[in-house]
């Protein structure tokens, strides 16, 4: 504890060996000597201890502030301020050795808080310990060159990000001419990295009548044994590896409302591949050592429950993750019932949250349509792509969230990513970037921003949520 229970006085822990009175290098001094040193403006203890990390202030007496309690000092140390000024905002006290010891301790705590380490979580029922950031790669091969992709992969790896997310259909927007490029870029980068230090997550496409070019001979892409096996074999080849850590179904084989469609349209129901048949296909790949764990994406509570129940009844592999969209402007789909389904005490399925910035909209860069950042960003480069985030209500809500961020001294990115990061059901947040500056800003939101977001910020977020709910609905 920082303070004694009696009168709020600080405790007196043992000083470092270099400054104790019994130290061989420090002879015992009479109290009169100490008093004289203080009157002469000299430190009463060795400069190396008094001014550790204080540079030009060595040997200079600092005025006491008897009205500034240790409790007040502790509180001021954790006020949200730019990291560069954290230590400058702390009061300098010279009341006694114990106070100086605590002042230095508080400063070190603040500096440590200013640059936090990434945290890691176990993904569902798996033994995968994943970083709280997942690097999304869907722009590699379309908006990013191979060199840019490799630079971002290396930077992320050096920052402690150990999980990459790709898909057989990437990059986006999807087309036959570029399909698979993302995997190829990752595969060539992986050749210089230890395989067991990188968690590769990829996705097999769901039902599609448009993307038949994904298969050698198919009139429609399905999530059946033949399609799954062909997808995995091609992914392994492109990624230059012999196993996939996490194989996910990109979207269901059955009809579900996704990508901006909110309500279930019963007229769109169609026959689909049974859940147990899909799991049996995954079981074969796991038995062959080509896949370690499986997950789903763009899934509903019904789908998660069916997969979990089928696995339980027939002894088949259980899904460990769900990759769904989640952000300040896309919350209801997950929070209404998937939170309960995926809870560790229920199905224990970890959320990999994608589009935490709403396709980049929540950064605020699209609010000025004529800005350079907006003009070279994907929603403008590819008209009609992710149209749900360009909806007028989504823009209105974004403008309010940007104002909220400024009100609390945060950047829009720190607010948006800090919100998703702080949700108890988030296993990892998938971030993407087309420039190194964007990538650094996104990672910085995890390593330097307040953790968790202050209560007043969260309260203000809920006020806006009640007003706008999910504005990114078509």
Please give the positions annotated as active site: 170
In angstroms, rounded to a whole number, what is the distance separating the alpha carbons of residues 449 and 447?
6
CA distance linking residue 39 with residue 16, whole number of Å: 25
| Separation between Cα atoms, residue 395 and residue 473, nearest integer Å | 12
Q: How far apart are alpha carbons 204 and 252 in whole angstroms?
A: 10
Burial of 24 by CB count in 10 Å (0-12 exposed, 13-18 middle, 19+ buried)?
A: exposed
Query: Which residues partner with 246 through β-bridges?
Result: 201, 293
**Rounded Cα–Cα distance for residues 317 and 310 (Å):** 9
> What end-to-end distance do the CA atoms of the chain give, in Å?
53
Contact 358, 326 (CB under 8 A): no
Closest C-alpha among 79, 78, 108, 103 to residue 91: 103
Contact 244, 292 (CB under 8 A): yes
CB atoms within 10 A of CB 127: 9
d(CA 387, CA 372) in angstroms, rounded, equals: 20
Give the containing element (helix H, strand E) for 446: helix 436-447
Task: List all residues 6 or more positions away from 448 whose beta carbon is below 8 Å from its beta carbon.
Answer: 83, 114, 115, 116
């Amino acid at each position: 504890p920082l303070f004694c229970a009696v009168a709020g006085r600080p405790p007196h822990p043992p000083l470092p060996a270099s400054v104790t009175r019994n130290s061989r290098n420090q002879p015992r001094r009479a109290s009169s000597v100490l008093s004289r040193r203080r009157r002469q403006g000299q430190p009463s203890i060795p400069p190396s201890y008094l001014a550790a990390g204080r540079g030009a202030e060595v040997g200079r007496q600092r005025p006491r502030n008897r009205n500034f309690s240790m409790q007040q000092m502790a509180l001021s140390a954790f006020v949200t301020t730019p990291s560069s000024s954290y230590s400058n905002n702390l009061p300098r006290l010279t009341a006694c050795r114990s106070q100086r010891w605590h002042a230095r301790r508080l400063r070190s705590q603040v500096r440590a808080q200013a640059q936090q380490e990434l945290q890691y979580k176990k993904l569902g029922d798996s033994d995968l310990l994943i970083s709280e950031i997942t690097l999304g790669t869907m722009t590699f091969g379309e908006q990013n060159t191979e060199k840019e992709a490799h630079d971002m992969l290396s930077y992320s790896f050096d920052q402690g990000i150990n999980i990459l997310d790709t898909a057989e259909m990437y990059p986006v927007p999807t087309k036959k001419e570029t399909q698979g490029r993302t995997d190829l870029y990752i595969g060539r980068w992986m050749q210089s990295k230890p395989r067991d230090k990188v968690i590769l997550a990829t996705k097999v496409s769901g039902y599609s009548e448009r993307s038949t070019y994904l298969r050698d001979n198919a009139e429609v892409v399905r999530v059946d044994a033949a399609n799954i096996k062909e997808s995995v074999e091609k992914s392994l080849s492109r990624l230059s590896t012999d196993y996939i850590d996490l194989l996910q179904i990109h979207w269901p084989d059955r009809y579900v409302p996704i990508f901006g469609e909110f309500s279930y349209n019963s007229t769109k129901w169609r026959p689909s591949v049974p859940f147990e048949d899909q799991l049996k296909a995954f079981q074969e790949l796991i038995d062959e050592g080509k896949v370690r764990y499986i997950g789903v994406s763009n899934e509903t509570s019904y789908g998660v429950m069916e997969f979990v129940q089928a696995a339980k009844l027939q002894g088949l592999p259980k899904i460990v993750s769900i990759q769904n969209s989640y952000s300040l402007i896309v919350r209801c789909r997950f929070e209404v019932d998937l939170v309960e389904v995926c809870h560790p005490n229920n199905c224990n399925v970890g959320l990999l949250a994608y589009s935490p910035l709403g396709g980049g909209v929540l950064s605020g860069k699209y609010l000025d349509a004529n800005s350079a950042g907006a003009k070279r960003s994907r929603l403008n480069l590819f008209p009609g792509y992710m149209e749900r985030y360009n909806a007028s209500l989504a823009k209105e809500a974004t403008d309010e969230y940007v104002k909220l961020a400024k009100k609390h001294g945060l950047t829009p990115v720190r607010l948006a990513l800090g919100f998703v990061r702080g949700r108890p059901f988030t296993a990892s947040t998938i971030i993407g970037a087309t420039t190194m500056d964007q990538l650094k800003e996104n990672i910085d939101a995890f390593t330097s921003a307040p953790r968790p977001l202050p209560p007043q910020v969260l309260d203000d977020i809920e006020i806006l949520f009640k007003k706008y709910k999910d504005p990114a609905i078509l």
